[in-house]
Structure 1
């Protein structure tokens, strides 16, 4: 630990893990539960929307149950556009106004827009879809704010020995949200199936005998407001992080008081020392000093997150077209709309439970042992290998006899996405950058990721719509190459485990010393990484 670090920061770094840390993980994590549920539940209902609101479009299709391509892209992608916008806006505000002041706004926006998405109205089908897209944009805007704020708050509360695991645990709630998106959609569609005693698709092309089916997708979307509502009060009760209060607001006394209550210990204020600490770190974003210290890191975090999300969102958004090939769902002409929704949701739940979910928690378990760097390299490499195998051997795997091998390989891509770059690209930007621009830099990195997701939604998802074999084969090979690019871009970032945030970012003055004067501990960290 550098000698000129503040007592309040040293206390946070060395604090024992206690109940307050667990509560912070739950409070921040429930935001990510809501984020994932709201973003991915649309995949379970998009085909139902196609059958309900565009029956004429589906009459002449051999594989019914689709939205028109442009409509599908907007319904799937508009929330991603909102998320990217929200990340940049709330990330900037998190540094300028404070983490806590804008943290509650994001949750409130998510609650309101999730409910309004389910209440989408209009005199025509197109009007309903336009209203849905409007509210899902603002839903995404709120979701976007949760990314930089949750990551920054958790990194600034955690001690240095378990910081990576704590941030990863917050992000792991995304896996729980994906599971519940499938589970809730499955339960709702099953209830409506039983209530309607729905006939087959062939007997009921325009759903005339399923008058309540329109309620199913609305209920699924509206339930996304519930977890946010349950944690809103506790999010508002969290104090501002000690690092923001001390380093950015310049109030060492308040920071010592707040963190002393949280950690149940007495902490010195050190107001005079704080003035010296702030003066050595008073440089703006995009200054030559920032570029020298953090330029390569920012390029590394933005490129890896972009490339990861091209692959990760392509996996998630095209599931509904791949599931029939894997034998997890029936083909659309064989089932009615609610049955198709049930089967898509069930398949999504199974893949998330056995592929997606374990990967997140493997990262939580091993991130402090293996480090962020090794896990990210391993994840990109394994995703690339499995996607390349699926692409090259797609015709062989897509047969009935080999469907379980297909399902296993497909599940492993999800496992190593999450025991890999999907988790570490969230953790690293919360640790690499200085306090005064930590939220902004995380937001820029996350927004780059959502740009990759938009490439997936508007490009790859559009290209593979309908599940044609040749297109999916080619897309999988392209995604394998994308993951290899992510592997090489990982070399632009550095290992952060076991070091304080100030040591990593150079706020403690370590980056201003000659290399020969590096502390022994810092030297060991560089060698280890």
Structure 2
């Protein structure tokens, strides 16, 4: 019968040995995340430069700074676009298939990366408006990559190493952040050597060499290159067999697609192809229906809430680490260096953090996720993020004293390590495993969009909250905030809340996607499966 035949196809995927195409798929999907991370986080290295170039005021004794509303827009608009892209392309991936819409995201990312670099205008407002326009649509393309890449990798992988494969795709973000820092280091060094700017003065002609306007454009436009390289290979990928068999109900095509890329034995299943169009009304429930909520309600709450809470902390730390490092003295004050040198210092700090904490954290998860399990790694990560955030915040006055900045940076780096050897990866992996195939990219997209909602809260909230409580010390018109110390305390409590919500997330280690999602099983079995998240909560 059809269920036996479907399970024959899918079981072949679950037990298939790790093959060359698995690694090929990791690279193809991972290069999208490499580009995503580069494009999202490179903006943090050029915002100071944008302020010096376009908002220089010769009447003051300090470098130009982006006005608060402009800084918020430049940092946050791509996140808003990402949220929309996650929802839209997540829904589209379930309606049209993963592969059919997979290349569209790269096309958007390529053109908008280039567009960001050629942002035009006759005034600072015009340039910033154009930049925000392109970065919004860049975010839409980036957002689409989340549900599609995660789902494609989960549906290709075998159940023994599925977690490591999905995590490896996401771990390419670390290299994107690293390369973004390296690109900024290289070009800022070149520009500073050939077009040096004087230290800031109140000279009416300003303090920034005109050539510095090219620097930020080159850094942003470089994000188009990996997207262009990856497009051809994405278009050659066949549709995933799980989508074709379970959603499109074309088992013959699913077998043909599998045989193109994987060495599996499916001869016996071909005899049952004529029975492929049977649908089971008991498992054919829609999104947010009673059947969906009964089977997946608690896990869905777990994946959305933990991703939301994580990204508040994670994006606050990533996008505004330059402010934090300046506050504790690891990056010199802006008035002591020229604009291009400031880009170099910020990029160097980001590169060191990526090299010694961000990237190792990602690959620790890849190495241990299929042995330790998703639940354990996520709980551990949130726990240590909470501990280290309070370790930074409570003795904050100590860290700001001369000579203590290195200790601060080490502990700060550990929060990134355990974010990535923890919930930053697992929140991406689990939604690609526990939901039905016909709703998988939609549910992953909604979970990811909840995360980006948290990132928006972090981007805009931390921008204002971290300002000095002393009105006389705020920059460029920012209203007084609660200060960096209290902002870090708030982030510590947010991480603790994420640890609690993790108990709603079921463990998916070592199980097939169909076993996790309850597809082709009866109501009683599916209900007992979803109860694992409730069991985690009761045994807290």
Normalized against structure 1, the TM-score is what?
A: 0.94
Whether contact under 8 Å (1:281, 1:507) holds in the other structure is yes
Secondary structure of the residue aligned to 1:400 is coil
The match for 2:39 is: 38
Q: Following superposition of structure 1 onto structure 2, how do residues 431-470 of structure 1 map, counting pairs within 5 Å? A: 431-465=433-467
The match for 2:532 is: none
Cα offset, 1:208, TM superposition: 5.5
The match for 1:109 is: 108
Out of 486, 495, 500, the position equivalent to 2:507 is 495
Q: After superposition, what is the alpha-carbon deviation per residue over 1:345-398, rounded to whole angstroms, capped at 9, x for unaligned?
A: 111100111111110000000001100000000000100010011111111012
Secondary structure of the residue aligned to 1:197 is coil
The match for 1:18 is: 19
Change (3 A) 1:394 1:417: same
User: Which deviates the most, 47-56 or 197-206?
Assistant: 197-206
Paired residues in the alignment total: 519
| Separation (CA, whole Å) in 1 of partners of 2:367 and 2:24 | 18
Cα offset, 1:189, TM superposition: 0.9
The match for 2:406 is: 404
The match for 2:533 is: none
Change (3 A) 1:251 1:209: closer
Secondary structure of the residue aligned to 1:401 is coil
Out of 463, 471, 482, the position equivalent to 2:494 is 482
| Separation (CA, whole Å) in 1 of partners of 2:67 and 2:527 | 60
Secondary structure of the residue aligned to 2:433 is helix
Whether contact under 8 Å (2:399, 2:408) holds in the other structure is yes
| Separation (CA, whole Å) in 1 of partners of 2:339 and 2:351 | 18
Residues 1:365 and 2:377 are matched in the alignment: no
Change (3 A) 1:124 1:331: same
Cα offset, 1:261, TM superposition: 2.2
Whether contact under 8 Å (1:307, 1:483) holds in the other structure is yes
Whether contact under 8 Å (2:77, 2:135) holds in the other structure is yes
| Separation (CA, whole Å) in 2 of partners of 1:229 and 1:247 | 32
The match for 2:310 is: 308
The match for 1:332 is: 334
The match for 2:186 is: 187
Change (3 A) 1:470 1:515: closer
Cα offset, 1:206, TM superposition: 5.5
Q: CA RMSD in A?
A: 2.3
Cα offset, 1:298, TM superposition: 0.7
Whether contact under 8 Å (2:467, 2:484) holds in the other structure is no
Q: After superposition, what is the alpha-carbon deviation per residue over 1:33-75, rounded to whole angstroms, capped at 9, x for unaligned?
A: 000000000000000000000112x85365x342100000000
Cα offset, 1:199, TM superposition: 2.2
| Separation (CA, whole Å) in 2 of partners of 1:204 and 1:238 | 57
The match for 1:375 is: 377
Whether contact under 8 Å (1:328, 1:343) holds in the other structure is no
Change (3 A) 1:514 1:71: closer
The match for 2:69 is: 70
Contiguous gaps of at least 5 residues in structure 2:
475-480, 530-535
Whether contact under 8 Å (1:185, 1:342) holds in the other structure is yes
User: Which deviates the most, 120-129 or 264-273?
Assistant: 264-273
Cα offset, 1:328, TM superposition: 3.0
Out of 264, 280, 283, the position equivalent to 1:281 is 283
Cα offset, 1:207, TM superposition: 4.3
Q: Following superposition of structure 1 onto structure 2, how do residues 93-492 of structure 1 map, counting pairs within 5 Å? A: 93-202=92-201, 207=206, 210-267=209-266, 268-269=269-270, 270-271=272-273, 274-276=276-278, 279-465=281-467, 471-492=483-504
Change (3 A) 1:472 1:489: same
| Separation (CA, whole Å) in 2 of partners of 1:300 and 1:206 | 55
Residues 1:60 and 2:41 are matched in the alignment: no
Secondary structure of the residue aligned to 1:498 is coil
The match for 1:522 is: none
| Separation (CA, whole Å) in 1 of partners of 2:145 and 2:13 | 23
| Separation (CA, whole Å) in 2 of partners of 1:111 and 1:49 | 22
Whether contact under 8 Å (1:496, 1:504) holds in the other structure is yes
Cα offset, 1:506, TM superposition: 0.6
| Separation (CA, whole Å) in 2 of partners of 1:315 and 1:479 | 9
Cα offset, 1:276, TM superposition: 4.5
Secondary structure of the residue aligned to 2:158 is coil
| Separation (CA, whole Å) in 1 of partners of 2:247 and 2:527 | 28
Cα offset, 1:450, TM superposition: 0.3
The match for 2:82 is: 83
| Separation (CA, whole Å) in 2 of partners of 1:278 and 1:76 | 47
User: Which deviates the most, 506-515 or 207-216?
Assistant: 506-515
| Separation (CA, whole Å) in 2 of partners of 1:506 and 1:208 | 63
Change (3 A) 1:209 1:181: closer
Whether contact under 8 Å (2:6, 2:245) holds in the other structure is no
Residues 1:512 and 2:513 are matched in the alignment: no
Whether contact under 8 Å (1:38, 1:114) holds in the other structure is yes
Whether contact under 8 Å (1:326, 1:404) holds in the other structure is no
Cα offset, 1:6, TM superposition: 1.9
The match for 1:521 is: none
